[in-house]
Each structure stands twice: as structure tokens, then as C-alpha cells.
Amino acid sequence: MAVSFEHRRTVPAGVDAVVVGVPSDRLESAGVPVEALTGQGFEGKVDQVATILRDDGTTQVFVGVGPSAEVDVLRVRRAAAIGARACARRRSAALTLPELVPTEDRLAAIEAIVEGSLLAGYRFGRYKSDPSPVALERLVVVDGTSLDGDDREAAVQRGRRVAEAVALARDLVNTPGGELTPALFAEAAVEVAERENLQVTVLGPGEIAEAGLGGLLGVNRGSTNPPRFVELTYEPDDPQGSLALVGKGITFDSGGLSIKTAEGMMTMKDDMGGAAAVLGAFSALASVAPRCRVSGYLPLTDNMSGGDATRPGDVLKIRNGKTVEVLNTDAEGRLILADALSLASEARPDAIVDLATLTGAVEVALGNRIAGLMGNDQHWIDEVRAAAERVGERVWPLPMPDEYRPRLDSEVADLRNISKTKDAGTIIAALFLREFVGAGIPWAHLDIAGVAWWGDAAEADVSPGGTGWGVRTLLELAKTFRSRS
């Protein structure tokens, strides 16, 4: 993300393109004859784009943002991403988008513009002989208000840090499972911790066994790549409360002995999207300066079908002492999360949130743009939902009816890892996880199986592949978290 940013009060001379946001009810304010826009079918609707080449060679890019009364910081971020995509072959561009929001929202808009335009230029070209990088090298954010220069620069830097955090998560998800082993993921976590002055602990196989993480060891049995368990801690001076972040880290999921189809495995390098989001968030925590202590728990393994892989019918003992009959080895994410949630609970945080690409059922229910949200505390669920909505990551609460819990009863262990029925898969998985959350600790679960991977054509700030979904939500949660004790 080697793009330079600057902020000016007016559009500087010499830029190759100028991006203008156009409300649908204010076409006359676009600075060109209305006919020049409407002749291209442009009406200012959200995501519409029209370009005009000026006599001086400058390209004007007009991005529709819908009715002016509906324009907010999130819509500005999206417009910035669309405008940056339209300018991808130019060396420099000016974005006049801050003027779309009131003065009191200008700093947030500047941050959003930087974030959106950077992520629009994200490409994962590591394995391409000709990666065809985006040409944009210089972006100018134009805002005519008399905001303090230091405040503007801080907003630019926050936007850059968030974009870099999301890009880190995307890079991890996009890296093939044969390369991103648990050990290499753990090394990436150590690099982030050292750079950001975080506390970090990495447990290897022997220490994982000593810690009684039977779910993680059980999933790892079929693999030749040893597991890792990473703990991260961000601690400010005089912390006000504590928040635990848990991320599922299956670096590749073959399904184990309950093997997936060939098609079902094609994108399974994304099964560590939860852990990637948590690590991405930790990489930028300092930029949002949480007042709370933030801890991260990342269980890391792949799920393979080697000669000693866990068999259907095997029983595993989880960190909190509960036993689980494994009847489907492709329901493995909940097993490693059970250990992580148990460990997180032992520290008695004020709240826990986990992210996991847990069930295909959630994508059937909500598609690839909305994550499922469940939990044991309505206040905390509402807080997580509000944080997600503020940053534009959509979630939808699902119920967790207690009458479904008997479907997890086992004849030979405390629990079985799949339901006795084939319905309500997302809810049953969340009910399973609830068994490993300490009593009295508010907990929320985000099932991101649909939103962690983007299989559609590029759109605004999202490119095909890993999305980095959840990084923004976790940063917002950490920034705004206040202990209720």
C-alpha cells in the first residue's frame, strides 16, 4: 500500500483525475452541465459512475451517492473506493468527497476515504508472474474547511492503519494452506506483536498437550503440520475493563476423515478467516487507542485425513473438562474454539467475542454479505451489532433456543459435535460453543462463513478472495468498549 496521501483545501494542479461525489438530488452541483452526465445515463444513484475527459487532459470521475439526506461516512467510504477503482490507471487523483458530510463529520470522512481508496487498490499478486499493480501513487483528499492540520493527518493515518490491518487479514486468507501452516501463522503473529509492542505467547504441541487443549490436538491428529496456540495481549496504562477476542484458525480444512468434496475444498484456505481478523485487528489496535485490556486467542491447525486422524466416534476432552464425541470430523472448528473459549473464560474478561467461518448453513440463511450473530447476553449482542453497523459490516442476530440444546446430547460423552437433526446448523454450532464459555461472562459469536470470502467480481473496496471481514468491527468494539462492572 505504497500510496502517498496529502490533504488540501482546493484541488491542486497537476493531478490526473478528480473524483466528485454527486447526490441524486443535486446533479447541478457537479460542476459540469447536467446533460454531460445524464447523457451517460448518470442520475446520481448509489454506485453509479460517469467520467468526463477535460480539455486539459484531466479525467473527472463522478460517483453517485444517492439522496443527499442519506449520505453518511460509510457511503463516502464506498464512493471513495469506487472512485479510486475508476482511477486505477492514473498516477494521481484528488477526492473531493469530504464536502458531502457536515463539518463535524469531516475527520471521520477523511479517515474513511483513505481506508476505502486504499482497499479498492488491494491486489493479492504474490503468485502472479505479472501482478499488474494499481498505478495510483498519489491521492489528495480535498476539504475546504479549516480543520486543524494535525487532526487531518491523524485521520489519514488512522485510515491507513485500518486499511493495512484489513489487507493483512486478506493476505493471510488468500495465502494457500500448503504455505500458511500453523507455524508460519504463529510467526506472523509474533512479527505483529514485536512491531506493535504487544505481549505474545506461542504454544507448541507439547505445551498444548500440557494445557489440556484436547480439541485442538484432536483436530490436528491427521496432519503432518504441528499445531500452535497463540495468545496476544494489548494493555494500555490503567486499563478500564478487559475484552477477549477469539478467532478460529483452521489453516486448511479437508474435512478430515469426513472428507469434503473437491469443490467443497476449493476455498478452504479461508477457514482461518476468524483468526486472520483477530490478528489484523491487533495489528492496528494502537491506532484506535482502546482504554481496555484486549486479549486474543488463536488456535491454529489444519484439518487433514492422515493415518492417525481422529475417527468418527472418537471422544475428545476439552480444556474445561467436558468431553465431546466427534461424529463428523468436518465439524472441527467448534472443537478448537471450545479450547480457546475455555482458556479465554479462565481469565474472566468482561466480555468475549469470537469470529469463525463455522457453518455453511449461515451462508444459506444470510448469503455472503451478512454475518450471523448469536450470544448469551442481549446487551453485549446489541453492542456488537451496533459496532458492526457503524463500520459497515452487516450482521443479523439469530436465536439460540434452549430447546435445541438436547440435540447435542451424546450417549457416550458430555456432548456430540453435531446435531441429531440436519436443520438449524448455525444455531446448533453456537449452542455447542456456549458450553465452553464461563458462567456470567457476556459472549457473542460471529459466524463469518459467508462473508469471509468474496467470490463475486470486485466491488467498491472488496476484491475476489479473502475480505478481511471483522477487522473493522473488532477495532470499533475495542475502541468503544466500556466495562459494566
Q: What are the residue numbers of the active site?
A: 260, 334
147/134 Cα distance (integer angstroms): 31
Residues 6 or more apart whose CB falls under 8 angstroms from that of 207 comprise: 229
Angle 234-239-242 from CA coordinates, rounded to 5°: 70
Sign of the four-CA dihedral 185, 190, 196, 199: positive
Letter string b/e over residues 279-293, b meaning 16 or more CB atoms within 10 A of that residue's CB: bbbbbbbebbebbbb
Longest Cα separation, the chain:
79
β-strands 228-234, 199-203: how paired?
A: antiparallel
| CB within 8 Å of 409: residues ≥ 6 apart | 415, 416, 420
> 221 Cβ partners below 8 Å, 6+ apart?
306, 308, 309, 310
- 103 touches 152 (CB < 8 A): no
Question: In the structure grid, which three cell numbers stand for residue 197, read together?
Answer: 509492542
Rounded CA gap, 175 and 325, in Å? 32
Round the CA-based radius of gyration of the chain to a whole number and report it. 23
